[in-house]
Structure 1
Amino acid sequence: MKAVKDDLKDLPQTQLDTRAAKAKPVKMGWSTEEVERITAALNDLLANYSVHYQKLRNYHWNVKGPDFFDLHEQFELQYTESLQHIDDIAERIRIFSKTPVSTLQEYLEMSEIKETASNLSSELMVRELITDYTVLLNYMFTVVEVASEQHDAGTEEMVKKFINTIEKHHWMLSAFLAK
């Protein structure tokens, strides 16, 4: 039994006793350039998603006509979901110790998606959102491509889930317009 105790005396008692744990924390394995590529793509998506989110709220508040009840409810569901995606994207950027774009001015300057008026017909609102979803999908595909090239499975997996959702919204709104 004494030999076993002697063998254990040199083992660290906690993770903090190891040299690696005492060393300065190291980034997760990506180079500065790789982190820049990933976070730049995420910030582009974040800016576009943020303008899209505000459009959904605008349309939710201002939709009128015979489609009011259906669209009012759908717009709320979609902006609630968008808000969660926006938060996930921003937090993913923070994981890389970078700062997500976060002001309305930054969003509007960076975004390909543009604001619209509040007095659009319900049909024009839906057409605008279909266009937004096409733009968002293109930015999402770019993020997935960049993440894959950098071997960033976390970002890739997160955005692929967003893609499934956005494709479904695109289909449903397109079906809504079909007559």
Structure 2
Amino acid sequence: MLRQISLGTLGLTIGGILTIMGFVAYAGNNATLNLVGFFYGIPLLLGGLALKANELKPVPFTQKTSPSALILREQQATDTQNKIRKDITRYCYGQDAHLDTTLSFLGLSPTDQERPTVTGLREVEVNGNYALILEFDSPLIPIDVWQKKQEKMTNYFGPGLEVQITQPSENTIELALINTPKESLVSTQ
């Protein structure tokens, strides 16, 4: 739940209240509240402004996750899938974009202007397996460049995941990270 709270907004709110309280206390000749308002309120207000200026909003789910996909997530999701889902659905500070270092490593972000941006995600079931689908706005990097990087993506995101790349519409790329079932050992007797 704390991941969904903007620290910038929280700092602005509390800092604003304390600062206003400090000015009111100053006008009312109340030295103690005046000090609290000024010494805590103004720094919190400024800190909130700084965080707000550097804030990266969470990526929204584009469709509601079905109960069966939630069960599969609990049973099958890899550490990589869980980390990506948690990282992009929370407020971030000091980053240019969600997954910016990943896209840069994969060679999909030659410049900040060309970098695809994550616009949404969803969790679905694909052939009985859990899948995390990341939706990108990619107007300057075509699907053939994405597809050339598919093997590198498979290695990057680790074992146990299959990477599928599709283009549902112009300028939109969907990157599906699908859990691959572990091969069960069958003993012959």
Judge same fold: TM > 0.5, yes or no: no
- TM-score (norm: length of structure 2): 0.25
Higher relative contact order (CA 8 A, sep 6+): 1
Q: In proportion to residue count, which structure has more helix?
A: 1
- Give the structure-1-normalised TM-score: 0.25
Q: More strand by proportion, 1 or 2? A: 2
